[in-house]
Structures are given as C-alpha cells and as structure tokens.
Amino acid sequence: MRFTDQFRFVRQNMKKNKTRLFMTVLATAMGCTFLIVLASVGFGLQKSIVEDMVGDRMVTAIDIYGVESNNEVDRVIDADNIEYLRTVDHVKAVTYRNYVQQALNPMIDGQAVGSNATVNVDFAAESKAGFGLSAGRLPQEPREVIVGFNIRQTPQQSGAAGGDTPPADAPPAKEWLGKIMELKVKQLGEDGKERTMKLPVTIVGISEQPSREWQTDSNVYIGNEILTELEAFTGTQWGAMLLPEDSGNQNAEQPPGLQDPRQFNQVQVIADGANRVKGISEEIREKGYMSHSIASELKQINLVFTIMKIGLGFVGTIAVLIASIGIFNTMTMAVTERSQDIGIMKAIGAHPSAIRRIFLLESSLIGLLGAVIGTVVAYVISIVVNIGLPIAIEAFMEEQVPDDFVFSFIPPYLAVIACLISLGVALLSGSRPAKRATRIDVLSALRRDI
Amino acid sequence: MIEMLRINHQFAIGKKGKERVVPVLHDIDLHVREGEIVAIVGRSGSGKSTLLNLMSGYIRPTSGEIRVAGQSVTSLSEGEWANFRLARLGFMFQSFQLIPSMTAFENAELPLVLKGLGVSERRKRVMELLEQVGIADYAGHYPGELSGGQQQRVSVARSLMLNPPIVLADEPTGSLDSDNERQLLALIQHLNQDKGTTFVLITHDEQVASIAHRTVNLKDGYLLNAYGKGDNPAHEVH
C-alpha cells in the first residue's frame, strides 16, 4: 500500500470527527507550547546572565595572576614566565598590559588630549589574540599607536557616563586617524632638573567601544618599540620618573632600572580554542601558575543552567504526556468506530502492518500538527514576554531591567527537540490503538457485532 | 484447486473458564477442481459458512489440512494469509460489505490500493469493471445511496478487481431480487467459462445451486454427498 494512499485514508478518517480532532490537536499544541516556553525561560536567563558575564572578555582567555615558587606565591610575572607560557601547547598568544609610569600629556594640533593612561602592549601578540578595533588598523611601524574609543570625551563627559545623566555627545575618535600625537616624556636629570623628550607618534587605530555603558577607554596604546625609546630616555622600567634625592622620604625606593628583572601586568594566555582552555589551565597550574578563566566560571554556571533547563523541560514534558492521553483516547475511539471498515479491509487482503501504519500515521499527524502549532504559539509568547515583562516589572515593581535582558529564548534546536518529543509521544500513544486495530477479528467485524 | 483434508472444527462458547465446546465440522474431505463452480448447500447451522471461512483463512481448523493451489495454507501467519487472500482469492458477501464512507469507485478500488498500484492504472481498471457490471454511472455514489443490487455489483467488481483465480461467495444473491440474481448468476457463469475462474458458492437457493458443476450437501457438520449435474442427489459419499 502506497504512502499517498495511507495518507488519503488518514485524511478521510480525520474529516469524520473534526471537533474531536481539533480538541486533541489543541491539547497537544498546549503541551508543546508549555514545554517550549518553560524551557525557553532557562535558555533566556542563561543567555542573558552568561552574555553579561562574558561581556567583552574572551572565552579563550586565561588570566594569569601569579606564580607559585618554593611554596610561596609570587605575584610577579617576569619575562621568563611569559616565554614559558608562549611555549605551552595550543597557546595562540600571550598578551599583557603595562602602564607607563608617568603621564605623557599627549597633544594633538597643540591641544591637550584627555588620555587616562599610556599602556604598553605587544601588538604582535594582540593581533593573534584579536585586539578589538572600531576603526583603523594595528600598528605596523615603530612610531604608530592606537587610542581608546572614548579619548575625545572630556573628563566631565566620561564621569557623566556612569552617572544618572547620559553622556554628552563627543566627536568620534576615528576623526583622529592619521593624526600626529605628541607625547612628552620627562625625567629628572643628574642635576635634579626635569628634562623632556618629545615623541611624535601617528594614530593608526581606534579601540572598540567598551561593552558596558559605564566603561570608557581613553588610553593610548603603544608598542614595544616606543616603550624602548621611552625607557632609553628615562633609564627606568615603564618610563617611571626618578624620585628627587631631596624628597625627604627615606623609605622610598627608586623605580627599577632597565637591568632589573622586568614585571608584567594583566597577563593573559589566549588559547587557540575554547575547548583547549581547560587543558592549558591544568598544565600551567601544575607549573605553579595561578590562573582564572571565564571558561571555567562558565562551566559551573552552564552546569547549573543545564540542570535548570532539564528540570523545566521535564515539567514541560509532563504536559505533553498529559496531552498524549487525549491522543490515546482519540485513537482508541477511531479504531472502535472503524472496526467494521478495518474488518472489511482485512477480509479482502489488507496486511496487518498496513493497518497499523495507517493508525500510526494518523496519531503522528495529530502530534506533528499539535507540535507545529504549539511551536508557533511558543515563539509568539516568547516575543510577548520579552517585550511585556520588562514593561510590567518597571511599572509595578519599579525595577529597571537591563536593555538586552532576555527572559525567554527559543533556540531552533529547542523547537526541534520539542517537536520530536511531541511526535514521539504521539506515536507512543497511537501504538496501542494501532496494534488493537490489527487484532480486530474479521468475522466479528463483518457481522458488525464489535 | 482447493483441498480440504480431514477437517474438524469446533467453537468454544461461554464465559472464560466455563467454556462449552461445540463441534461444527466433522472429518470434512472436499476437493474443488480448477475452473469448477461448487455450490455448498445445507440448512442453517449445518456448518457451510464455517467451511467457507476456513477456506478464506478467517478462522483456522481445529484439525486437518487445507491446500490451495498446491500450497498448504493451514499454518500461514495472519500477514501471510493477508497476502495470499489479496493475490488469489476474491470475496462476495451476502451483505456486500462495502465501506460506507467510501464511494462505489473507492470501494471497488480497494484491492488495487492494497496491492500498491498507481492511480492511473487503478482508475482505468476500476472503470472497466464497473462498466462490466453495469454500475459505472454510480461510481461517485456512496453505498447508502445505492440499491441492494447496485451495492452487490460494486462488491462483485471489487472481488474481481485483481483477477483472482478463486472466488468465494457467501450467499451472493441472498439480498437480491430475482432480476439482479439472474444477472449475477449469468456473470458468474460468464467469468467461469471465459476466464476459468473457480467459484465456491454457499447458498440456500436452488437456482444458484443449479449453475454449479457440483453441489456439496452439509448436514450437522457432516458432508453428506457431493454430486454433479445430472447425478442422483441421494447418493451419499461420506
């Protein structure tokens, strides 16, 4: 018997009792909607919370904040440590951020620039790690720099960004691309007088906008070549100024010189994949490095959310199972009503498996119809919840919901899984009535005494 | 064509645990030859319908063996019996046994659908046979809209749809008027002579029995005699 003929039989049968069919499909659709919406809350919260956590941090990054040697924690990461970290398998790059220890008073077109700090980075490593740029490119020549996205905001504007009032509009930093910025490096001479070196550099890139509203980036990022020039002038690490001999502070130490061991700050190891983070973390931990990665933090949180989603999905599946009682009832009624027809078909040579297939097809069609309708309704509910709930919370609870917060999120695979569950449950519910249909006694059916 | 060897059959009736066994057929030996029309006659309760149901595979004998076209069918599974019925047997019923929710066309088409034939081939074959039995004009009508004679014609068209070598008919004229009965008997004779179709007919009607090459008489589950046309019916063969 062809599938198209089975389908025709099913369609004819379904037309016989439209109200019963409608109610059964409705129950299945409600069960499916309940399952999807419930699980979507777990997905939505996970998405919002995890995305908020990850923010601008890379999931492949491992923060190194110390190394243990001789059972003592040494928080200083030196050049040897950096070299070692670069040799670990699956490490794509090792980055650091070192602040220049003096304000360089950058000037553009004779105007002072409101820079927060000057930061030394390894641009070769940053290009591998993926330094986020909003405009321009990474430096390729020695005297090229990158400036922060918010460098043209005045301190007042920057301060306002974190306050109650919105930040005033500042001209875009990308207008400064190609401009010459003058950095002034100072150091005390042997005679105790301040000497100055002017260091003209070219702006070739603008960093990307910080992901959080309250964050600003007004730094000037310089490469190792500029740092070397700068340190050659100051004679100290990170361009620190010497303390005047008559400062009066007896305990004060002069900053480390160029021959002293160098200290690196904000060291990050970048793995070549999120799945490598765990292995790298374990390997460097054995060597005494103290590390922290967003991936390990996410693992714990994702575990909690996975358990939550399974729990919600389980509760939702109960709703689908309840709907399956309706399908079972409908199919049992259908078999009883059509027992004479089944008997006639068997009498002239219908194979039991063909009869079983017809009834299984009918129950699976009910399940599929309910699942599709239920999925569409679930998407609608999800949209309404995401729009309506923040408004309701703000109106009645006087709480502010973050702009991008998602209460309900339905990934495509959730809809597919819910449809498969509905279909499976429908097939399961229809299997017993279908089996019963194959067992109908021909003679009883022909005598119409069933 | 059909061989029934030492067939015994009994029914268990009554509630479970308190069943009573009622013997229906006793040591039946019956041979139906290819191209033969055999009429099985007997009073009500003599076991003739049970005999036909055994040939159809709707029930299984308590003991004995049934062979159809040289193949033992006694131990066929339900699925095998279904395939066997579809391929080799045609059925005519006293109460026509048409599916009420299907049109005459769809009812007649049913064996072809079960066989898995294509739509165009089915349409051609069904219309040919409905034309042959004189019901083509009513192809789109439901059984409830047809007379008894018309319904039986649809049933006959359905039984012949796959050109079965054997047709089993249980009181085929039982619900027909004399005109329709005559036409149906003429069709049976025509098919028998033209295509060599074997017919086993159960009937009370002497006129139906008169077209048979052989008449088998059953009484209380015993085969009393089997006699051909012109034979003396009093000759007992058991």
Is A279 a domain residue?
Answer: no
The predicted structure's pLDDT at residue A247: 59
Quick one: average pLDDT of A190-218?
85
Q: Per DSSP, what are the bridge partners of residue A72? A: A69
pLDDT in tens, A163-173: 444 455 678 88
Whether A146 and A258 share a structural domain: yes
What is the residue type of B216? V
Quick one: average pLDDT of A194-216?
86
Whether A235 and A125 share a structural domain: yes
Report whether pLDDT(A74) > 70.
Answer: no
Number of structural domains in chain A: 2
- With bands split at pLDDT 50, 70 and 90, how would you rate the model's confidence at A30? very high
CB contact under 8 A, A354 and B114: yes
The predicted structure's pLDDT at residue B124: 93
- Which of A263, A291, A325 marks a domain boundary? A263
**Most A CBs within 10 Å: which of B59, B97, B102, as the mutation test of the A interface?**
B97
Quick one: average pLDDT of A150-154?
81
Residues of B in contact with A350 (CB under 8 A): 82, 86, 114
**Closest partner CB to B114 (pick from A1, A16, A446):** A1
B21 shares contact with chain A (CB less than 8 Å): no
Whether A256 and A304 share a structural domain: no
| A406-to-A40, A46, A78, A401, B232 alpha-carbon distances in Å | 10, 9, 43, 10, 96
Whether A116 and A248 share a structural domain: yes
Is A126 a domain residue?
Answer: yes
pLDDT in tens, A188-199: 887 778 888 998
Quick one: average pLDDT of A323-340?
89
Whether A385 and A249 share a structural domain: no
Q: Which residue has the higher pLDDT, B98 or A248?
A: B98
Whether A258 and A304 share a structural domain: no
Is A21 a domain residue?
Answer: yes
Highest mean pLDDT among A5-14, A27-36, A170-179, A213-222: A27-36
Whether A249 and A332 share a structural domain: no
Residues of A in contact with B59 (CB under 8 A): 443
Is A235 a domain residue?
Answer: yes
Question: Which DSSP state fits A349?
Answer: T
Question: Which DSSP state fits A397?
Answer: I
Is the distance from CB of B155 to CB of B169 less than 8 angstroms? Answer: no
Is the distance from CB of A422 to CB of A367 less than 8 angstroms? Answer: yes
User: Long-range contacts: B55-61, Cβ < 8 Å, 24+?
Assistant: B55/B2, B55/B4, B55/B168, B55/B200, B56/A347, B56/B85, B56/B89, B56/B91, B56/B168, B57/B81, B57/B84, B57/B85, B58/A347, B58/A442, B58/A443, B59/A443, B59/B9, B61/B7, B61/B8, B61/B9, B61/B25
Whether A158 and A47 share a structural domain: no
Distance CA A426, CA A416 (A): 15
Distance CA A371, CA A418 (A): 7
Nearest CA in chain B to A445: B97
Enumerate domains of chain B plus CATH numbers: 2-228 (3.40.50.300)
CB contact under 8 A, B91 and A442: no
pLDDT in tens, B72-89: 888 888 899 999 999 999
Q: What are phi and psi of A146, to 5 degrees?
A: -120, 145
Q: Which DSSP string do the residues of A278-335 spell out, in sequence order? A: HHHHHHHHHTTEEEEEHHHHHHHHHHHHHHHHHHHHHHHHHHHHHHHHHHHHHHHHHH
Quick one: average pLDDT of A196-212?
88
Report whether pLDDT(A1) > 90.
Answer: no
Is the distance from CB of A320 to CB of A32 less than 8 angstroms? Answer: yes
Strands B2-13 and A107-108: unpaired
List, in order, residues 6 or more apart from B4 with CB less than 8 Å away: B28, B29, B30, B31, B51, B54, B55, B64, B65, B66
Measure in Å the smallest separation between the Cα of B234 and chain A Cα atoms: 33
Nearest CA in chain B to A9: B102
The predicted structure's pLDDT at residue A362: 92
Report whether pLDDT(B236) > 50.
Answer: no
Residues of B in contact with A12 (CB under 8 A): 101-102
Is A74 a domain residue?
Answer: no
Q: What range does the domain containing A154 cover?
A: 97-263
Report whether pLDDT(A160) > 50.
Answer: no
Measure in Å the smallest separation between the Cα of B192 and chain A Cα atoms: 20
B78 shares contact with chain A (CB less than 8 Å): yes
The predicted structure's pLDDT at residue A194: 85
Is A146 a domain residue?
Answer: yes
Nearest CA in chain B to A346: B82
Is the distance from CB of A155 to CB of A114 less than 8 angstroms? Answer: yes
Is A315 a domain residue?
Answer: yes
Report whether pLDDT(A58) > 90.
Answer: no
What is the residue type of A155? P
Q: What are phi and psi of A172, to 5 degrees?
A: -65, 140
Measure in Å the smallest separation between the Cα of B211 and chain A Cα atoms: 25
Nearest CA in chain B to A446: B97
Is A159 a domain residue?
Answer: yes
- Which of A210, A238, A263 marks a domain boundary? A263
Element (H, E) at A45: helix A18-54
pLDDT in tens, A360-413: 999 999 999 999 999 999 999 999 998 888 888 888 877 777 777 888 899 899
Which residues of A sit within 8 Å Cβ distance of B?
1-2, 5, 12, 16, 340-341, 344-354, 442-443, 446
Quick one: average pLDDT of B32-50?
89
B164 shares contact with chain A (CB less than 8 Å): no
Question: Which DSSP state fits A257?
Answer: B
Radius of gyration over every alpha carbon of chain A, rounded to an integer in angstroms: 35
User: Long-range contacts: B25-30, Cβ < 8 Å, 24+?
Assistant: B25/B50, B25/B51, B25/B54, B25/B61, B25/B221, B26/B221, B26/B222, B27/B64, B27/B222, B28/B4, B28/B64, B28/B223, B29/B4, B29/B5, B29/B223, B30/B2, B30/B3, B30/B4, B30/B216, B30/B223, B30/B226
Whether A201 and A251 share a structural domain: yes
Mean per-residue pLDDT of chain A: 84
Q: Is B214 helix (H, G, I), strand (E, B) or coil?
A: strand
- With bands split at pLDDT 50, 70 and 90, how would you rate the model's confidence at A161? very low
- With bands split at pLDDT 50, 70 and 90, how would you rate the model's confidence at B143? very high
Whether A257 and A355 share a structural domain: no
Distance CA A281, CA A274 (A): 11
Distance CA A220, CA A115 (A): 7
Whether A174 and A314 share a structural domain: no
Return the structure tokens found at B11.
Answer: 């029914």
ipTM confidence:
0.89
The predicted structure's pLDDT at residue B233: 45
CB contact under 8 A, B85 and A348: yes
The predicted structure's pLDDT at residue A391: 86
**Closest partner CB to B58 (pick from A345, A350, A442):** A442
- State the sign of the Cα–Cα–Cα–Cα dihedral A410, A411, A416, A418: negative
Span of A267-281, B42-56, B185-199 with lowest mean pLDDT: A267-281
Report whether pLDDT(A286) > 60.
Answer: yes
The predicted structure's pLDDT at residue A166: 44
Measure in Å the smallest separation between the Cα of B121 and chain A Cα atoms: 14
**Closest partner CB to A12 (pick from B84, B95, B101):** B101
Whether A253 and A107 share a structural domain: yes
